[in-house]
Amino acid sequence: MANTSSFSSSPSTKFNFDEKPHVLAVDDNLIDRKVIERLFINSTCKVTTAENGKRALEYLGLADGQHPNHNDLKVNLIITDYSMPRMTGYELLKRIKESPTMKEIPVVVVSSENIPTRINQCMQGGAQEFLLKPLQLSDATKLRCHIKKPLQGGFAGEDDHA
């Protein structure tokens, strides 16, 4: 029997599944994951949660030995906590941005600590935003403009360089 406890999808997204933007929320704190989930469900998004960077990489197909297939996986935005055990949000950000198939997905890093060097590091590493916890409904509304709209065969913006 497969272990399905690693990821959680919001139950309120059973209808119009393919039409809703999909947000992946990564945080080691259950309460913070639930806050993100609630904020984005209220913004009519599908939300999948992962409790750490390793689980997020597995979900994205970027774990060691995996080969991502972004045609099957439609994640439009990734929100990750910075401070997590074993893999920081910055390390997760770097792995995502190094992937040719996932690098176009916007990544937002959140933290309860306002450390300018950490913020600069994440922004220079490719983060779309760096937000301070606790997240508010206004943050979810602000982030809606960063959500990638999937196109047939890829993500919006992938062919802009052609």
Residue 7 domain flag: no
pLDDT at 65: 75
Q: Which two tokens stand for residue 20?
A: 């809703």
Distance, C-alpha 159 to centroid of its chain: 22
CATH of the domain at 138: 3.40.50.2300
Residue 4 placed within a domain: no
The pLDDT, as a whole number, for residue 151 is: 43
What pLDDT, on the 0 to 100 scale, is given for residue 17? 45
Distance between CA atoms of 125 and 93, rounded to whole angstroms?
Answer: 7
pLDDT at residue 8 tops 80: no
Asked if the structure places residue 13 within a domain, the reply is no
Q: Span 99-107, mean pLDDT?
A: 93
Enter the pTM of the model.
Answer: 0.80
Q: Which domain holds residue 85?
A: 22-64+72-148
pLDDT of residue 66: 75
Q: Of 28 and 144, which is predicted with more confidence?
A: 28
Give residue 15's pLDDT band: very low, low, confident or very high (50, 70, 90): very low
Is residue 5 assigned to a domain? no
Residue 104 lies in a domain: yes
| Total tally of structural domains belonging to the chain | 1
Q: Is residue 129 part of a domain?
A: yes
Find out whether 99 and 66 touch, Cβ atoms under 8 Å: no
pLDDT tens-digit readout, 65-100: 776 555 567 899 999 999 999 999 999 999 999 999
Which of the two residues, 49 and 68, has the higher pLDDT score? 49
Q: Is 153 left (phi over 0), alpha (psi -120 to 50) or beta?
A: left
Has residue 60 been placed in a domain? yes
Contacts of 29 (CB under 8 A, 6+ apart): 81
